[in-house]
Structure 1
Amino acid sequence: MTANRISARRRLSATFFTFASLLALASVPATAETDTDEDVAATDTTADDTAAADQGSYGGDILVTARRRAETAQDVPIAISVVGGDQIDNTGSFNVGRLQQLAPALQYYSSNPRNSAVNIRGIGAPFGLTNDGIEQGVGIYVDDVYYARVASSTFDFLDVAQIEVLRGPQGTLYGKNTTAGAINITTNQPTFDFEGKAELSIGNLNFKQAKTAVSGPLSDTLAARIAVSATSRRGTIYNVTTDRWIQSQDNIGLRGQLLWRPTDNLDVTLTGDWNRQDAVCCGSVFVRTGATQRPLNRQFAALAAAQGYAFPSTNPYDRLTDLDANLNAGNEIGGVALRVKWDIGPGTLTSITAWRYWDWQPENDRDFTGLPVVTKSQNPSQQNQYTQELRYNVSSERFDFVLGGFAFYQRIDTQGTEGHGPASSRWTINPSNPLSQDPSVLDGLTAINTQYLKNTSLALFGQLSWKVSDRFSIQPGLRLNYDKKDGYYQRLVVAGDGSPVTRDLTDPVSAARLAVFNPQEYAPSFSDWNFSYDLTATWKPTSGILLYATYAKTFKSGGINQNGVPNGADGNPLLAAATIKPESVQHYEAGAKAEFWDRRGTFNLSIFRTDIKNYQANVNNGQFGVLRGYLANTGKVRTQGVEADFSIRPSERFRAYANGAYTDAKYVRFVDAPCPPELSGGADSPPNCDISGQRLPGVSKWAFSFGAEANAPARLLDQAGEVYLGYDGSYRSNFSSNASASAYTWIDGYALSNFRAGFRTEAGLDIFAWVRNAFDKNYIDQLFVGPGNTGLITGLPGDPRTWGGTIKTRF
């Protein structure tokens, strides 16, 4: 066990020892008497706020807290998708990745937990390898606590009440600035009535999942809630080299909460959570090869033949790989948060103090083959973040407002080791060079990377809603932000015999090694002030219709390159590339929300356009270890489109929904972009390409989600209830899986269908069978361009058909 892992365990132990001690001290005998009406009315307001969210996309009176106060989703002048806890369970959407099947405007892609990104409307984070030196454009919040990295939010949803996906800038309402949107996750809160629930699922691929939560009083003023979840599943790709299934799931999560309510106007909630993912992950399979501008003897077919190599299958849906390096995706996250809600004066003061940590322990195979070319690729990372948010909300007959302050500090330390093996010389060095026949030239060549990031952010924000009349209101918002980032990057290179590799281009062996790994050291720094604002006008022509229009001028903070930068002609780092300018964002949106048929149906429509100058894009380098990717500013990006949400519930026996999004997201101007593989690798290949007008990666023009459920009265085991049949489907059109669109990396559109059938009672028993990807659709989640411009394209197939059964009960 490494020192870093031991440190993380100690932090975890200390966290839960503190939490357990507080529980023990608070555990005075609770009264056995029934709660009074006043006690029942005093259950936690956050739980009450989300109590109506059971139907999620199915409509109904869904309460949300998008504007930091409880109101129905139809009264909020924001494009918002709401997914209730029951719908999450029923559709198997137990993490952020699967949430995109229910929210068409959401895009998620991941090659492993660290290299994960969430975008809304095609923007948020650059497509490709993660760089810690920039912010996420989509903010992820769990019970008001900001999660700085998508990697630390890839956990299973644990005891979730509902999830709100807010589209468009949200910086004047949320602690951290978010230019593309926010995912607001609300968990179930402690209650002063005893309650509990349990859930068990089993399925094919050895799928097993168990969840439980218990809540209740410890005294007249103390209540506690604890929830546990565990998920395991065999992998979906078979590794013939190691005789193991990879892409498995092995997750466990724990959340404990303690609520102290000394008076009716004060709530203090202490929360601790811990999550561990320990999958055999992550790999890929062969998809295709494509011609590049490299000489033929340096393209994949010739290089593989020279070493007598062939993939175990050229059909990606055989789900076979032969990766020979160790694979691991250990991911441990946890933290403690203290939330205070105090009704004081005319409003409510809310304080959220939180500490979170993330411990990432990966091992990868970066050559994507079964040859010992790259034999080690490990970049373990440890993150600690501290946040403090203060908000004061006031609601009155004519005015509602929120004023807030936010402070954020983050420290990330990363230690990287990348090494080459005995097959590297013949694969990497030009075959015309005699050194290509000498395995010892690159065998054991190792780069040792050390880096850290210190990230500080301070903000003041506020939003006012002025009800000019009973039908018309205006809502201005302001934000003042300060960001500072200090980093350090060092790469040391040693040969197989342990001797350091220095910049000696006169020595052929040294030159061959420097073409793979180049020593580098620099310390980038960035700081800046930004001011942003927005204005929304809302009009209600009738009681069932809301019209709104929004303009926002905002930004995404500048950043630093934490994974290395290009070297200049003198061999030194190009420090001008070490920092990245802030994105400048202008956002326009108009929408309509309508309820009809005696509120049995809802229809929402929004149109939007977002223009971004100095868009932060990921620039990929084709060589093995010189520089896998760095960040740079493009000229301009634009995303625009139309979104519609429809739900109907004519009776208690039937309900249905259909949501759709058309998204036109493209580079308006990007004249010095990295070239796609087919234009790369040759002596006369262009150093960069103009991809202005091309579509942004990772986003489909068309995306839909739709579903329905019907039920009928029935009895089972002498229990009165209802039988039901449900369907949830989704469709996404094709999208590019490379930062610069390539003929080799377009992923075809696909549709997925999920079914469930079961029996449930009002008392809380629910038994159902389910099948996901019911028609066993073959599709690709993500494609990867192999290193070295050899023309190799590998990919990650989506999950095959899975099926199983679930039993849930409440008590």
Structure 2
Amino acid sequence: MRAPGTSTRLWRLSMVLLAGASGLMLCGPASVAMAQQASEPADSFQLEEIVVTAQRRSESLQSVPVTVSAVTADMLESRNMRSNEDLNVSVPNLNIQRASGPVTPFLRGIGNNSTNPGQEQNVAIYVDGIYYASMSADVASFNNVERIEVLKGPQGTLFGRNTTGGLIQIVTKDPSREFSGKAGIGYGNYNTLRGNLYVTGAVTDTIAADLAMNGQKQNDGWGNNVVTGKKVHYRNDFNVRSKWLWDPSEVTRVTLSADYSFTQDDVGSGRQILRDLPALPATFNNYAFNGNIYDVSGDASEPDKTKTGGISLNARHDFDAFSIVNIAAFRKLVRNSVLDLENTPAPRSRADGYDETTETFSNEFQVLSPVGAPVSWIAGVYYFWADARADPIQIWNIGLGPALYQRIDDSLKTNSYSAFAQATFPIFGDRTKLTTGVRYTRDNKSITGTINTALATIATADQSTHWGKATWRASLDHKLTDNVMAYASFSTGFKSGVYNATSPTQAPVNPEKIQAYEVGLKSDLLDRRLRLNGAGYFYQYDDIQVSKFTGLGISQQNAASAEIKGLEVEIDAYLLENLRLNGGASIQKSEFTEFPGAVSFVRGANGLGVQTTIDATGNSLPRAPDMTMNLGFEYTHDLAGGSELSFNGAFYHNDGFFWDADNRLKQPSYNLINASIAWTSPDGNTRVRLWGANLGNKEYYTYVSSGNGNPDAGSPGAPRTYGITLDYSF
């Protein structure tokens, strides 16, 4: 029997959502209350309220007319989630992969796999409201996290940089005046050591501070380089963060934050040619796949080394009629990498020093309505500056003839100015609210640089341009009952245009634009023991920025247009007082409605890529699976003497996706299973946890590349990993 197609799955899930919404509206408050009363046990247990800042102020997740997936600190720990790329297992329709080191998030089918200096994400990363501009900065491990919010759909109104796909906001803990802390150590397979430390307390009567550190040392890789004998596919990192909170009065609050991270890994950059290729030509040493996706055979594979850090100041003062907030931040990133471009033992083609230095400064000034005002509003201005430099990119390629060597030095500068405002008005009584917001952004961008060979300077770049765009949002939400809200929204967004750092003389790609329609339902049922949220969406997506690795650099072009439609459901429930279930599912259909002239690399008879152009109209968008699903549970059991045993499990299914717009190479569907068992002491201070990830040892890829004159190659996701951790709180 054939599996149902995407259209059938969309129809089925839409019927579930509509039936649920209709049933809730027909029941009404009285019927729901009766159901809650009838099922209420003697000892009540409820889902906690989750507070998010999706609209730049603290609000309940269930009252925000935006699709937000929230991941708590407990979920991060129990599911062994250490960095952004682990979020897939907990967020429907989020598909985070790796590309030459940095992570590349795709949300609802929208993302970009270019990792060039100056390239910004379609799904932006924020930490405590601070924008992380460089894609290379997104690999830092989670440190001292309170929660993570994933906002879906274009963010064209409230947040600093306009995006088409959404954003991931990481919120870290604030320091406390009460002295406390937590320390932990761990050991895992592949001879992996982990450690973390958090300390917080009062410095003076008005100042509290904290210090958070964590790190990992992986002494063995998942595989080996069969040419050099070195280990491959490993990660070492160290992260430190500190916050200083000054409360000189009840109406003034100032937070100074600083952080530093060092990461050394080759996940995404260490690659093996794909298993179905024929034996390659003699110029590639007749190399063939060696049977192990975790090994590599390049003659120049080295781990990426990334150093990133920054400092920020967040100041707030509350007046009677309004509040003001100013957030200023400076960040710097330095990344060094070596890439074997053809991924074989032949000393033929490599990027020997693909180096990036990015410095950014941002300042945001906000004016907000007071808490509890009948009309909630916010207005502000935002400035962003960036200098992203190739320092340098050095490419060796025997195929270039006399020009065996190219050195690209360039600098991409951004000056961006924007003003924004949003307000929420009650209409037709307190149960119905209208939200409207608008933002105007002007981006000034330039690129200067040179391309040199060993013989001469062959190109000089000195270009500049600007783009301006107004984006806006409107939503209407209505409380069907005290615990059930329905909403509908229309929003627009754009992603700024960009120059190509690997080819600085090329004209820039233009900004991409999106129009998004969404309806959703948020509900807390059964005396808040069941939380069921769902959303349906339709995107009209134009001038899409499509990037493709060519073998020597990144090809960037604008596709004409695409459509994306889909449905999502998230559930969180107490099945028993000591058994909690949560999960989500998404199904979607993405399609280029017009894309002539798409760059493609067809595979020749000798297994090497041949560059051509195709009409990709009708193809699926890259890295946009038709279906994803995640399901997790937590079961706790009290032991004699007051200690506790807890069991956690998480299942993730990805239906598979195409790696590029030409739809030639596909990642098949795969499943991941994670689990942990933890013992907690009677006083709650000591915890021992056994954990495992990818327990089924499923083979899958986090990045697949093709290029002109090179074979198709891929970098694998992690195999089965497991370990033990010991944490002590004080």
Give the TM-score, by structure 2 length.
Answer: 0.89
Distance, in Å, in 1 between the alignment partners of 2:689 and 2:381 is: 46
Task: Give RMSD over aligned pairs.
Answer: 2.3
Distance, in Å, in 1 between the alignment partners of 2:549 and 2:699 is: 28
Q: Among 753, 759, 782, which residue is 2:673 paired with?
A: 753
The 8 Å contact of residues 47 and 528 in structure 2, kept in 1 or not, is answered as no
Give secondary structure in 2 for the equivalent of 1:674: strand
Amino acid at match of 1:672: G
Amino acid at match of 1:314: N
Q: Among 91, 97, 106, which residue is 1:119 paired with?
A: 106
Quote the offset at 1:686 in angstroms. Answer: 8.7
Distance, in Å, in 2 between the alignment partners of 1:122 and 1:307 is: 35
The 8 Å contact of residues 117 and 358 in structure 2, kept in 1 or not, is answered as no
1:346-391 alpha-carbon deviations (Å, 9 max, x no partner): 2321111100000111112112111111255212111110000111
Distance, in Å, in 2 between the alignment partners of 1:121 and 1:280 is: 27
Q: Among 177, 183, 187, which residue is 2:168 paired with?
A: 183
Structure 2 residue 721 is the aligned partner of structure 1 residue 721: no
Structure 2 residue 441 is the aligned partner of structure 1 residue 481: yes
Partner of 1:595: 524
Pair member with larger Rg? 1
Structure 2 residue 89 is the aligned partner of structure 1 residue 88: no
Give secondary structure in 2 for the equivalent of 1:581: coil
The 8 Å contact of residues 213 and 228 in structure 1, kept in 2 or not, is answered as yes
Distance, in Å, in 1 between the alignment partners of 2:667 and 2:328 is: 43
Distance, in Å, in 2 between the alignment partners of 1:59 and 1:334 is: 36
Partner of 2:40: none
CA 166–197 in structure 1, closer or farther in 2 if over 3 Å, else same: same
Quote the offset at 1:551 in angstroms. Answer: 0.4
The 8 Å contact of residues 393 and 502 in structure 2, kept in 1 or not, is answered as no
Quote the offset at 1:60 in angstroms. Answer: 2.8
Structure 2 residue 534 is the aligned partner of structure 1 residue 613: no
Quote the offset at 1:738 in angstroms. Answer: 2.5
Quote the offset at 1:131 in angstroms. Answer: 3.3
Distance, in Å, in 2 between the alignment partners of 1:69 and 1:676 is: 47
Partner of 2:141: 156
The 8 Å contact of residues 284 and 344 in structure 2, kept in 1 or not, is answered as no
The 8 Å contact of residues 287 and 315 in structure 1, kept in 2 or not, is answered as no
Q: Among 551, 563, 579, which residue is 2:502 paired with?
A: 563
Amino acid at match of 1:796: S
The 8 Å contact of residues 489 and 563 in structure 1, kept in 2 or not, is answered as no
Distance, in Å, in 2 between the alignment partners of 1:403 and 1:263 is: 24
Give secondary structure in 1 for the equivalent of 2:340: coil
**Unaligned stretches of 5+ in structure 1?**
1-57, 291-299, 430-440, 495-499, 503-518, 566-572
Q: Among 353, 363, 371, which residue is 1:388 paired with?
A: 363
Write out aligned runs for 1:348-747 (5 A): 348-394=323-369, 395-420=371-396, 424=398, 428=399, 445-468=404-427, 469-494=429-454, 500=455, 519-564=458-503, 577-621=506-550, 624-625=551-552, 628-678=553-603, 687-715=612-640, 720-742=642-664, 745-747=665-667
CA 72–651 in structure 1, closer or farther in 2 if over 3 Å, else same: farther
Structure 2 residue 296 is the aligned partner of structure 1 residue 321: yes
Structure 2 residue 273 is the aligned partner of structure 1 residue 286: yes
The 8 Å contact of residues 677 and 789 in structure 1, kept in 2 or not, is answered as no
Quote the offset at 1:134 in angstroms. Answer: 4.5
Give the TM-score, by structure 1 length.
Answer: 0.80
Distance, in Å, in 1 between the alignment partners of 2:56 and 2:700 is: 39
The 8 Å contact of residues 463 and 477 in structure 1, kept in 2 or not, is answered as yes
Could you tell which deviates more after superposition, 760-769 or 480-489? Answer: 760-769
The 8 Å contact of residues 610 and 640 in structure 1, kept in 2 or not, is answered as yes
Give secondary structure in 2 for the equivalent of 1:169: coil
Write out aligned runs for 1:302-341 (5 A): 303-304=281-282, 308-311=285-288, 313-317=289-293, 319-341=294-316
The 8 Å contact of residues 119 and 135 in structure 2, kept in 1 or not, is answered as no
Give secondary structure in 1 for the equivalent of 2:629: strand
Partner of 2:703: 782
The 8 Å contact of residues 68 and 393 in structure 1, kept in 2 or not, is answered as no
Quote the offset at 1:764 in angstroms. Answer: 3.3
1:244-297 alpha-carbon deviations (Å, 9 max, x no partner): 21121110011111111111111111111110012356311232355xxxxxxx
Task: Tell me the percent identity.
Answer: 25
Distance, in Å, in 2 between the alignment partners of 1:71 and 1:308 is: 61
Distance, in Å, in 2 between the alignment partners of 1:695 and 1:680 is: 26
**Unaligned stretches of 5+ in structure 2?**
1-45
CA 687–803 in structure 1, closer or farther in 2 if over 3 Å, else same: closer
Give secondary structure in 2 for the equivalent of 1:153: helix
The 8 Å contact of residues 561 and 594 in structure 2, kept in 1 or not, is answered as yes
The 8 Å contact of residues 680 and 789 in structure 1, kept in 2 or not, is answered as no
Partner of 1:99: 87
Distance, in Å, in 2 between the alignment partners of 1:221 and 1:698 is: 49
The 8 Å contact of residues 316 and 797 in structure 1, kept in 2 or not, is answered as no
> Which has a greater percent of strand?
2
Partner of 1:237: 223
Distance, in Å, in 2 between the alignment partners of 1:527 and 1:680 is: 45
1:137-162 alpha-carbon deviations (Å, 9 max, x no partner): 21211111111122112100000000
Quote the offset at 1:59 in angstroms. Answer: 5.1
Structure 2 residue 271 is the aligned partner of structure 1 residue 346: no
Distance, in Å, in 2 between the alignment partners of 1:668 and 1:643 is: 23
Give secondary structure in 2 for the equivalent of 1:466: strand
Quote the offset at 1:609 in angstroms. Answer: 1.1
Give secondary structure in 1 for the equivalent of 2:281: helix
CA 417–541 in structure 1, closer or farther in 2 if over 3 Å, else same: closer
CA 145–376 in structure 1, closer or farther in 2 if over 3 Å, else same: closer
Distance, in Å, in 2 between the alignment partners of 1:62 and 1:401 is: 21
Could you tell which deviates more after superposition, 370-379 or 602-611? Answer: 370-379
Write out aligned runs for 1:788-799 (5 A): 788-790=708-710, 792-799=711-718
Distance, in Å, in 2 between the alignment partners of 1:764 and 1:77 is: 38
Could you tell which deviates more after superposition, 448-457 or 756-765? Answer: 756-765
Quote the offset at 1:301 in angstroms. Answer: 3.5
The 8 Å contact of residues 122 and 699 in structure 1, kept in 2 or not, is answered as yes
1:727-784 alpha-carbon deviations (Å, 9 max, x no partner): 1110001111233211xx2111100111111212563322111111112122222222
The 8 Å contact of residues 157 and 438 in structure 2, kept in 1 or not, is answered as yes
